[in-house]
Amino acid sequence: MKNKAIVSIGSNEHRTTNVKEVMELLTKYFPTIRFSTPQLTDPVDMPEDAKPFLNLIALFETELDCEALDAKLKKLETKLGRDRDDDEEGVIPMDLDIIKWNDEVYKPQDMVRPYVVAGLDELDEL
C-alpha cells in the first residue's frame, strides 16, 4: 500500500549545503518526491541567538510504514550532523519531521506555519 507523507525540512547550520544534500538523498529514496521552494524563517521556540532556518516541505508516496519512515528520517538527520545535545543551543543542522501521514495531521502547529502553508499551496495540496 502506498502511503502519502508530508515532511518538513529545516536547517540553521550550514543550511544551504545541508538542505541541498538532504533533497538529493530523499530523491534517491523517493524518486517521485516533490519539494516546495525553500524559505528563510525566524527560529521558533529556540534560544534568542539561534540562527534563521532554511525551511521547506517535501511531499511523496512510500511503501514504508510511518515508523520506518520516521526512523529513516532520523538517520538522515544524524548523517547530516544532528546532535540532540546541541538542540538547547539552537544549532540544528537538519530537522526532518513527518507533519502529515495519509489523512492524519501529526503536527497541527506546523501545518499553519507560513512556509508550510505556502509549500502546500505551491504543491497543490491545500
Q: What is the mean pLDDT of the chain?
A: 93
Q: Which residue has the cell 524559505?
A: 39
Bridge partners for 62 per DSSP: 3
Q: What is the pLDDT of residue 47?
A: 85
The C-alpha R_g of the chain, in whole angstroms, comes to 14
Tens-digit pLDDT profile for residues 70-95 = 999 999 999 999 987 776 778 899 99
pLDDT tops 80 at residue 125: no
Residues in the chain: 126
Tens-digit pLDDT profile for residues 47-68 = 888 899 999 999 999 999 999 9
Q: Which residue has the cell 538522515?
A: 76
Distance, CA of 83 to CA of 102 (rounded, Å): 29
Q: What is the pLDDT of residue 87?
A: 67
Q: Which of 22, 6, 5, 7 is nearest to 82 (CA)?
A: 22
Q: What is the pLDDT of residue 41?
A: 95
Instruction: Please report, for the domain that includes residue 73, its CATH number.
Output: 3.30.70.560
Structural domain including 62 reads: 3-122
- What total of structural domains would you count in the chain? 1
The more confidently predicted of residues 124 and 100 is 100
Please give the average per-residue pLDDT across 39-54, as a whole number.
90
